[in-house]
Structure formats: C-alpha cells, structure tokens
Amino acid sequence: MEYRIEKDSMGEMKVPADKYWGAQTQRSFQNFKIGNEKMPLEIIRAFGILKKAAAKANNSLGKLCDEKCELIMSVCDEVINGSLNSHFPLVVWQTGSGTQSNMNSNEVIANRGNELVGKKLLHPNDDINMSQSSNDTFPTAMHIAAVMSIEDELLPVLDEFILTLSRLEKENSDVVKSGRTHLQDATPIKFSQEISAWRVMIEKSKYMIECSLSGLRELALGGTAVGTGLNAPEGFGEEVAKAVSEITGKSFTSQENKFHALTSKDALVFAHGALKALAADMMKIANDVRFLASGPRCGLGEIFIPENEPGSSIMPGKVNPTQCEAVTMVCVQVMANDTAVGFAASQGNFQLNVFMPVCAYNFLQSVKLLADSIKSFNINCAVGITANREKMHENLHNSLMLVTALNPYIGYDNAAKTAKKAFKENISLKQACVELGFLTEAEFDKVFHPEEMV
C-alpha cells in the first residue's frame, strides 16, 4: 500500500495515499481497534449536510469567501450522496464527543476539495470547521440523522402497514370469533375488531413518534465548545438551521439554549421512548399473528399466513411464522437499545455529554431495524393474512364463555353452574342449561345468539 504524509498539531502521520482523510482520522483509526461497529452512514450524511450549511452560513455572514464556500458545498454534496463513504473508516467506540468523526469530515472535505482545484485552498480546521466545535457539530449531526431517518425511512413504512391493516379490517367485518383474555376463552369478538386494535396501535405509535420530532428539530450548532458560542459570529446558529432546512427540505431550528443542547440528550431519549412504544406494539401484533396461525392441526389455526420457506431441516412440510419471529427479535433489540440510549444520555457531565456516538448508533439502529422489519412483515406476512372462517366458527360455538349471554336471564351463579357442567360432562351449554332446569330449549334458543354478542 502506498502512503502519503499528513500533519496535524501532534506531528506527522502516514495515511493511505488513496484516502482523503488526514492525520487526526488516521490516529483514531489506529488507536481504536474496537469492535466492528462503524460510525453510521446516516451520521456521515448528516455531517455532509451540516458542513454544507455551515459553509453557506459563514459565507452569508462574511467569514468565508465565495470560492471556498462553493468548493466546500460541492464536496459536501458528494458526502451527502454517499460517493465518499469509503473515506469514513472510524468506529463508534472512539472519543465520546465524536471529535474524531467531526475531524474525519473536515479532513475529507478539505482534501477532496483541494484535489478538485489542484491547490491547497482549504484547511480542515480553519475553513471546514469554521465557527464550529465537535461539541456542537456531533449533536447537530445526531438530530439531523434522527429526523431524516424517522421521516424518510420509518413513517412511510408505518403508513403502508396501516393501509394493510385497514384493508384486512374491512375484509373481515363479518367474521365473528372467540375472544381471549388471560390466554383463556372469552366472549365473542369480530375479527375486524381484533385487527382494529392492531391498526390503532400503529397509528398511535406513529403519532407519538411524530410528536417526539419537535425536540430533534432543534440544533446545537452555534454553541461551539461549551455553549457560549465562542468563535462563532452572531446569528450563525440561526443561519445554519435555515440552511439545513433548505438542504433537507425538513424543518429545523436553532436550539435557544446551547448549554442544554451540548450536555443534554433528552430529545433523543424521548424520541427513542416512542420507538420503544412502537416495538412493544409490534411485539404484541407479531405474537398475536403467530399464535392465531399456530398449527396447522394442533394449534389455534384461526388464520392463514403466507408460506415463505421450509421451516425445518428435519421435519418435511413444516412451515414457521418466520416474519413474526424476525419482528419480535427486532423488538427485543430496540428495547435493549432504549436502555443504552437512556444510560448514554444520563452521562452529561458539566458542559458536555461524552457518550454521543453510542447514543447515536443505538438510536439509528432502532429506526433502521423497525423500518426494515415492519416493511418485511407487511410485505411477506400481513398482506397475505386470511381468516380460517370454519375454525373461527367452530371455536366460537365451542367456547364455554358464551354462557355470559345467559347472565341477564338466569343470573351469574346459575350461568357458572351451566358452564362447569358443560365442561365437566363435555356437553353443550344448551344441554347443560336445560338439564339444570334454568331454561327450556325454546327459551335458550330465543336468547342465545353468539354473533350478536359483539
């Protein structure tokens, strides 16, 4: 491998000749051989956005000349579109402020820009990092990445899933089945009513996630090192937020209190709480689906789900609810990530939180996993759910809890005696009720209509 020599304040470093990063990135690359978790590409893209916005703001405030501004913004577009991804090698497990990833961005943008113009025009600190600090750029990148991931990846998937559930709800409005509470038989319910609970879960989760975005739209840029805004011109934060909004097409504002913006990660905790709520709902939905589809002969067998792949390497013909299992595993991971995000956010000591990379990694992983798994579950399972109407009818009319309909006519205690006799002697509720002398056959038939109990 060929190398070139790069310099920083600590001296010279050998850097791969075909890479745009500089000495500080190389030091981090060599000093943190920890794990396989790379800085998320969503963060890299967010850095491209904020560096472009910062250059535009510095130019409009008279700090950066037109030539440098245009060059920086041009290279930032390459960062944003992903063509320079291979030049961002750093792992999550680095300095807790994300300083080295900030410098990675500064060095790549400077060196790529200098290559384009054929001269040393841009300096990573003086030009690319102008009016900034790692302490306000990394939390800004976190918020930009969080909003973009949620709005562009997760929310559209939830909309598609809601449409599927709405269709299933309409298709099954005439299907009555046995309800279940405590994993035991309960009074009847329409299958559409059961599905409606799933739909509203997703609608409510989506609403909570959308509500949580307001805090993520507030950006820390302009606070520089400790929140005072040292070395940043007046109005810089506001100009950057305006530029970020223009670049992304999304609404961002400058956080009013930069001291809070640098040390607190409460907005990420709040938003991830909404993600955890979605995970909790998806765990319930996926479990309902796989239990209702259990069988095909020895389980509940009340619904059919698509058969996507063989389920066993030893049992021929076995098909498993694999999409449900994938979703539930994702939900476990998201719930674990919530713990990591919460712990990371609690470590804001004095003027800075130094657990930001792990916070960002877990947050963005949760968004990505939820978006991908719900999309897969919808496409490969939910859209193909059909009711096993015969099995639902059989289970409904075999349920002892239909006896609840008799309460107004024979009383709770007599209804309980009827159910116990029917269960013990394996006879119908009607036969038990008549034999106990509570109702005649005609009276029973007149008041006993399971389909009307919904």
> Pick from 16, 35, 39, 33: which is nearest to 102 by CA?
39
Q: Are 447 and 405 in contact (CB under 8 A)?
A: yes
Question: Bridge-partner residues for 8, per DSSP?
Answer: 11
**Active site residue: 182, 245, 272, 346, which one?**
182
Radius of gyration of the chain (CA): 30
Of the residues 251, 312, 346, 449, only one is catalytic, namely: 312
What values do phi and psi take at 304, rounded to 5?
-110, 135
DSSP 132: -
**Alpha-carbon separation of residue 221 from 69, 143, 309, 408 (angstroms):** 18, 11, 50, 67
- 182 annotated active-site: yes
Closest C-alpha among 45, 130, 111 to residue 80: 45
Residue/partner pairs of 285-288 with CB below 8 Å, 24 or more apart: 285/198, 285/201, 285/202, 285/327, 286/323, 286/324, 286/325, 286/327, 286/328, 286/331, 286/377, 287/324, 287/328, 288/194, 288/198
Annotated catalytic, 312?
Answer: yes
Distance between start and end Cα atoms, the chain: 73
d(CA 285, CA 385): 13
DSSP 369-405: HHHHHHHHHHHHTGGG-EE-HHHHHHHHHH-GGGGGG
Q: Determine if the peptide bond prior to 296 is cis (ω within 30°).
A: yes
Q: Which residues are catalytic?
A: 182, 312
